Amino acid sequence: MSEDKEAQENELLALASIYDEEEFRQAESAQGGEIQLCLELPPDFKLVVKGEKTAEYNVCFLPPLVLNFELPADYPSTSPPIFSLSSKWMTKAQLSSLCLHLDELWEENRGFEVLFTWIQFLKEETLDFLSIQSPLELNRSSSKGLGERRKTDPAAKAGAQCVSQSEKPEEKKPEVNKEISEQHFSSSTQLDPRAVVLMDPHSDPLPQLLDFDEGQRQRAFDSKVFCCGICFSDKLGSNCLCFKGCQHVYCKVCMAEYFQIQIRDGNVQCLNCPEPECTSLATPSQVKQLVDDELFARYDRLLLQSSLDLMADVVYCPRQSCGTAVMVEPDTTMGICSVCQYAFCTLCKLGYHGVSHCKITADDLRNIRDEYLSSTSEGQKFMEQRFGKRVVQKAVEESFSRDWLKENCKCCPRCGTNIQKVDGCNKMTCTSCKQYFCWLCLGVLSKVNPYSHFNNPHSPCYNQLFHGVDVDEDEFWSDEED
């Protein structure tokens, strides 16, 4: 018994010296403990989610296998360790197969310490032993679906949700022999009570697996040393920031100063990787780690505003005291502010005027027209969604009309009606109020003798009756002609 006790103490001491506190925890009240074993996944290992839509995820780490054990007083001379094996992603059938193999390893090494042999097998050979390959299928089912599967599927009946690509459930066979050394069963024919599935069958395992993978990646990153691409200092990963899109690494001191300058200048869309021509952006969580609360609040507000600006169905209340973002229904030009209840036209930003024309200047219409005509098809579609297709087209047509009127017409000096001069002399008659006026200076002409304006030497249009007009030599106009 003293030899067994000494062997146990030596084995536990060796495990404590090989593995850190997170991997191996020795029990306080008994000769035993808990070992967490992260399997060594091959490069580019993938999870495939089967459900309504198939999705694929790259993972570097999966939650560990957990080996809980207790050493009997007559271990290792006579009895094997008492143990249980648990996992968050394996099926109970797979864990049962591993438990059986651990029993077989004990039979091969009976009388000797076996814990390290077990650990090496679980850590290095589990994937090959269970024929688990990439991609690893992950079945995401509702609670109802799981209940239906548990009636017929042995793996589901055990609360399993993850199965390897090669695993196929078989019909359960009756137990033949209770002696462990004589049991020979596959992972799908008998379930071992020492196999424990830690995943709730009613929960979605994917978020937990991805969170664990991200946490382990961060731990691995924090322990490495990187050279900052800005200050060229070597620093631990825990003092660095890694852009997720490109994996470029810079120290947090340089990035904090860079972020602060950009946010103060309002360039919240420019918090990208400093590497030339790299377009990877920092995530909001990374920004929050490196700037104070006041700057992050400004960053968050400006980021929301810039995102809203890109949305075709969002405009802002034109009241300077408000400025609230307003959702606009498709194919309409009316916006109603939810804060101040102001109803406005999304095109001219004045009070909503229904089907009446917008009271905007020709320059504003011209700007809308120029922007629309110079935009890409996507840009034009955006403007049509924002202002309404009919309104944009009407703005374009009206702007062209105003440009044409400005180039080809003049306003009557009495009533303001647009008058086009097709031919004839410079004495014009308004088609609306019948007023005579001069085409050159827009002066009002006498009803009795309108041509005297062109015959008076003191008139600015003296002798300019036919200025700019091609006149036949045979034609003659007298001052008395009306």
Catalytic residue set: 425
Letter string b/e over residues 104-113, b meaning 16 or more CB atoms within 10 A of that residue's CB: ebbeeeeeeb
The burial of 479, by beta-carbon neighbours within 10 Å (0-12 exposed, 13-18 middle, 19 or more buried), is given as: exposed
Whether the CB-CB separation of 62 and 94 falls below 8 Å is answered with no
DSSP 282: -
Asked if residue 138 lies in contact with residue 50, where contact means CB atoms within 8 angstroms, the answer is yes
Q: Would you call 363 exposed, middle or buried from its count of C-beta atoms within 10 A (0-12, 13-18, 19+)?
A: exposed
Structure tokens given for 202:
């009613």
Those residues whose C-beta lies under 8 Å from the C-beta of residue 442, and which sit 6 or more positions away, are: 410, 411, 413
Where helices occur in 166-224 by DSSP H, the ranges are 205-222
| DSSP string covering 465-478 | TTTT----TT----
| SS3 label, residue 173 | coil
Question: Three-class SS of residue 70?
Answer: strand
Burial of 177 (0-12, 13-18, 19+ CB in 10 A): exposed
Distance CA 460, CA 464 (A): 9
Asked if residue 198 lies in contact with residue 131, where contact means CB atoms within 8 angstroms, the answer is no
Q: Which amino acid is at 444?
A: V
Pair 99, 78: CB distance under 8 Å: no
**How far, in Å, CA of 38 to CA of 213, rounded?**
11
CA 147 – CA 145 distance, rounded (Å):
5
